[in-house]
Amino acid sequence: MAQTRFAPDRGLTSRMVTTMFFIGLLYVVVVGVLVVLLKGAWVVVLVIAGALFVAQFWFSDRIAAFSMGAREVTPEQAPELHGAVDRLCALADMPKPRVAIAESDVPNAFATGRGQKNSLVCATTGLLRRLEPAELEGVLAHELSHVAHRDVAVMTIASFLGVLAGIITRAALWSGIGRNNRDQNAAIAVLIVTAVSVVVYAISFLLTRLLSRYRELSADRAAALLTGRPSALAAALTKVTGQMARIPTEDLRKAQPFNAFYFAPAFNKESFSRLLSSHPTLEQRLDQLARIATELGRA
């Protein structure tokens, strides 16, 4: 990973490695089970699984950007947004990513890309309209730290491996395994495939959620230390979270599938289990920023 001035986070790195290892292991197990069960089509299983994984890795940034409505803009089209990104990239000593805007009243931002050279940072029109310049720079610094730490790529791949495992197992079931009830071996095969699928979904979901919550705290800390203004990021967090309640439910539901990539979740109800949440609570994020402000004040 290219070095930047963003504060390194060994805890984030170890969590990314652990998540990728276990989800990759689960993926291999699922493909192995299918290869054993589909003896006559094992080559097809491997080719399809490999092709889907490669396609997702190389085109993940474009898929995510398109899905979230990102439209790349030039410095002439969005001078203030480009100016903020330019300043932060110079401060962080990192390559400038592509800059995009998403036409949405939901105040949010996200980053995509496999690495620093092919990354994209996007802000919604709702975010640009509501934040002050210092607050916007705090949010953009948060997103750029995701790019610098490469946790965006890890989250994309980790999420995809769990989904792909489910797709493959469902395809095996649809192909007719076990339709002959008299075939006891086929019936057992169906149970094995179903059980493995459930386990993969459950473990991959929990692992990605754990990583997602930690990486958000890591990005907040890195952004606050880089800009030296944790209060601006705290103000942006408070403002964005407060504004979510005023957004139509229909718009929030459209954004909800991409919560793991957003600066703040579209839905953040208190009743929602912390174990299943993609983000830490607002209180946790603000408490961390307050501690950083105290540390910077002492320094």
For residue range 255-297, what is the model confidence (pLDDT) as tens digits? 766 677 788 887 655 444 666 788 899 999 999 999 999 999 8
Mean pLDDT, rounded, for 49-61: 71
Q: What is the largest CA-CA distance in the chain?
A: 75
Cβ(214)–Cβ(12) below 8 Å:
yes
Between the alpha carbon of residue 160 and those of residues 64, 163, 285, the distances in Å are: 12, 5, 27
Q: How many helices (H) and strands (E) does the chain have?
A: 10, 4
Report yes or no on 60 lying in a domain.
yes
Q: What is the mean pLDDT of residues 40-61?
A: 71
The lowest-confidence range among 36-40, 98-102, 208-212 is 36-40
Higher pLDDT, 121 or 179: 121
Whether the per-residue pLDDT at 69 is higher than 70: the answer is yes
The per-residue pLDDT for 139 is 97
Alpha-helix runs per DSSP H in 111-265: 125-130, 133-149, 151-174, 184-227, 230-244, 249-255
| Residue range 75-104: mean pLDDT, rounded | 95
pTM (2 decimals)? 0.82
Contact in structure between 81 and 99 (CB atoms under 8 Å): yes
User: CB of 225 within 8 A of CB of 165?
Assistant: no
Question: Is 6 part of any domain?
Answer: no
DSSP three-state, residue 106: coil
Residue 271 has a pLDDT of 40
Residue appearing with tokens 């299943």: 276
Q: What is the mean pLDDT of residues 73-102?
A: 96
Query: What is the predicted pLDDT for the residue at 38?
Result: 65
Q: What is the pLDDT of residue 234?
A: 96
The pLDDT score that the predictor gives to residue 247 is 80
3: in domain: no
Given pLDDT bands bounded at 50, 70 and 90, which one contains residue 74?
Answer: very high
- Average pLDDT estimate for 108-132: 90
User: Residue 260 in contact with residue 208, Cβ under 8 Å?
Assistant: yes
Is 82 labelled a binding residue?
no
CA distance 39 to 125: 52
Please check whether residue 278 is in contact with residue 213, taking contact to mean a CB–CB distance below 8 angstroms. Answer: yes
- Count of structural domains, the chain: 1
Residue 77: inside a domain, yes or no? yes
Active-site residue numbers? 143
Residue 67 contacts residue 119 (beta carbons within 8 Å): no
- pLDDT-wise least confident of 9-18, 103-112, 144-153, 159-168: 159-168
Domain assignment present for 7: no
> Is 2 part of a structural domain of the chain?
no
pLDDT at site 1: 47
C-alpha triplet 213, 117, 82: angle, nearest 5°: 80
Residue 1 lies in a domain: no
Task: Count CA within 13 A, CB hemisphere, residue 219.
Answer: 31
Task: Answer whether residue 186 shows pLDDT above 70.
Answer: no
pLDDT at position 178 is: 47
* Domain range enclosing 287: 12-297
Provide long-range contacts, Cβ within 8 A and 24+ apart, for 42-46: 45/168
Closest CA to 22 of 207, 191, 277, 299: 207
Q: DSSP class of residue 93?
A: T
176: left (phi over 0), alpha (psi -120 to 50) or beta: left
130-174 residue pLDDT tens: 999 999 999 999 999 999 998 887 877 776 665 555 555 555 556
Residue 190 is predicted with a pLDDT of 62
Residue that the structure tokens 């986070």 belong to: 9
* pLDDT for 61: 67
143 φ, ψ to 5°?
-70, -40
Known binder of ligand: residue 279? no
